[in-house]
Amino acid sequence: MPKALDKVWSECLDIIKDIVEWQHFKTWFEPIRAVELKGNVLVIQVPSQFFYEYLEEHYVNLLAKTLRRVLGKDAQLEYRIMVDSGNHQNKPLTMDVPAQGYKTFSNNEMDFPLVINNPVKNPFVIPGLKKMQIDPQLNPIYTFETFIEGDCNRVARRAGKTVAEKPGANSFNPLVIYGGVGLGKTHLAQAIGNEVKRSQASKVVLYVSSEKFINQFVDHSRNNAINDFIHFYQLIDVLIIDDVQFFNRAEKSQDAFFAIFNHLHQSGKQLILTSDKAPKDMEGVQERLLSRFRWGLSADVLIPDYDTRIEILERKMKNDGLDMPKEVVKYLAYNINSNVRELEGALISLLAQSSLNRRDIDLELAKRVLRNFVKTSSKEITIEVIQKMVCDYFDISYDKLLQKTRKREIVQARQITMFLAKAFTKNSLKTIGEHFGGRDHTTVIHSCQTVKDLMDTDHSFRENVIELQQKVQLVAM
């Protein structure tokens, strides 16, 4: 291959590698081969039709922007798809296909927010800017229909539905959605925005990451255009800010956001914020902002339980028209228990391996794929470990945990222990009951349901359970 071709694709990969997760890079970009450079048209070879369709659906915009950085604004992309010839003695056939989803991006479109059909580079300084020209920056696949509800996110999802029905005219303003990485915070926040755009098209919705907000603020500060920056954001009816915890490293950006927040809130506009921690635990964020974050509702999303993980996989398979043996679905759901993103990533890797190796998905293939996907250092949690942890947390003895008593603190500690044992161990309900003085499986079922009910009604109880869940998760790391 010509040296220029090697250099172009190498530069593209260097850029992509810094953007996508390592596992996805290994799965979807390393198998690609750059085979031809025709002027400003790069031809890449992919191993299958499935591979091509996945790139078109999930990464075509990233490829577009990357090529334009390397080759210039007129860069174009074509695929060369390998097709099985039916004769293993011959080389695979190939089929050249232009990138169907490849859009023509103006230089403005690389900056965000966007103004549609407007040649002016900076949308913030347009006099009399028309609100309907603002692109919401929402991903259309993030909807309530594709967001699986479970005990781990029920409060947040139902609050989100309320906000979407009456943005700005509800008691959940702002709505703060918080939780760990890959648990669906961004999905839920954008689902609200998409629902508002669907049902109330006149509303101006904008999704922006805190990092992009900060970068925009810095750019406008350099150009002495902070007032234009603030004025633009004050045009929004539903403002969604992702990862607000990163405001902790940008004091002046916090001042600007404070002014924006006050104006929108007082004007009856809706604010939706996501964070990796609750407002009370955010460090480096101004207290006046934190106090406003607490005006509405702070709803957490937790690690999904086994049944919810099964449902997530089945919904993903149904939406993508896929079929897998039930035992493989169960194996994935049981072994990928950290977050939704890794669960979906494992499913994608399994499908890719099936496509690349031209073999059906079975339990053996799933085990081989997951060996490279799951952290091998993870420890198996036992019922005994959870019992000791709960006893230490509530400062009660192990013997009391097993006693037949009606003391509220002992009963609740035992119920929480059973709930955690069901969520974090491989044991059956019968085995869990046997570890509590020979109780039967119906007692375990009742205990788990009681814990779920109390978490919905008793804030203090809910905080205790969440803290214990986090402690168990840390032990498993």
pLDDT tens-digit map of 386-398 = 999 899 899 898 8
345-370 burial by CB neighbour count: b if 16+ within 10 A, else e? bbbbbbbbbbbeeeeebeeebbeebb
pLDDT of res. 186 = 93
Let me know if residue 275 belongs to a domain. Answer: yes
* Residues 467, 455 contacting (CB under 8 angstroms): no
In this structure, what is the dihedral angle of CA atoms 243, 245, 248, 249, given to the nearest 10 degrees?
Answer: -40
Examine residue 376 and state whether it is found in any structural domain, yes or no: no
Same domain, 179 and 312: no
Whole-number pLDDT of residue 274: 95
pLDDT at 475: 65
- Domain final position from 277, 301, 325: 301
Kindly report the CATH number assigned to the domain that includes residue 425.
Answer: 1.10.1750.10
Cα 116 vs. chain centroid, distance in angstroms? 27
| The pLDDT value given to residue 129 | 43
Please indicate, yes or no, if residue 284 is contained in any of the structural domains.
yes
In a domain, 116, yes or no: no
Provide the whole-model pTM.
0.54
Range of the domain at 436: 383-476
Last residue of one domain, picked from the residues 348, 371, 394: 371
Q: Are residues 353 and 389 in the same domain?
A: no
Does residue 378 sit within a domain? no
Per-residue pLDDT of the chain (477 residues; tens, 9 = 90+): 455 888 889 998 988 887 877 777 888 888 898 988 888 888 898 887 777 877 887 788 888 888 888 888 888 888 887 754 444 444 444 455 555 544 333 333 333 333 333 332 333 333 444 444 678 889 898 999 888 888 888 899 999 999 999 999 888 999 999 988 888 899 999 999 999 999 998 899 999 999 999 998 988 888 888 888 888 888 899 999 999 999 988 888 998 899 899 889 988 999 999 999 898 888 889 998 999 998 889 999 888 888 888 888 888 887 777 778 888 888 888 777 777 877 877 888 887 777 777 778 888 888 877 776 655 434 568 899 999 989 989 989 888 888 888 888 999 999 999 999 998 887 888 889 888 988 888 999 999 999 998 988 888 898 889 888 877 866 654
Tokens of 210: 């805190």
Phi, psi of 25 (to 5 degrees): -65, -45
CATH number of the domain enclosing 339: 1.10.8.60
The answer to whether 191 touches 239, Cβ cutoff 8 Å, is no
34 & 101 share domain: yes
Residue that terminates a domain, selected from 275, 301, 327 = 301
Is residue 92 domain-shared with residue 175, that is, in the same domain?
no
- The terminus-to-terminus CA distance of the chain in angstroms comes to 45
DSSP per residue, 327-346:
HHHHHHHHH--S-HHHHHHH
Shared-domain flag, residues 295 and 313: no
* Shared domain check, 311 and 293: no
Same domain for 156 and 267: yes
Q: Do residue 151 and residue 239 come from a single domain?
A: yes
Residue 115 lies in a domain: no
Q: How many Cβ atoms are within 10 Å of 39's Cβ, its own excluded? A: 9
133 and 268 inside one domain: yes
**Looking at the 3D structure of the chain, how many domains does it have?**
4
The 10s digit of each residue's pLDDT in 123-150 is 333 344 444 467 888 989 899 988 888 8
Q: CATH number of the domain at 225, please.
A: 3.40.50.300
Q: Same domain for 209 and 88?
A: no
Q: In this structure, is residue 296 part of a structural domain?
A: yes
Domain check: are 133 and 282 in the same one?
yes
Residue 476 pLDDT = 58
Question: How is residue 170 annotated by DSSP?
Answer: S
Return the closest-CA partner of residue 16 out of 78, 76, 60. Answer: 60
Residue 113 within any structural domain of the chain = no
350 shares its domain with 390: no
- Token pair belonging to 369: 């794929």
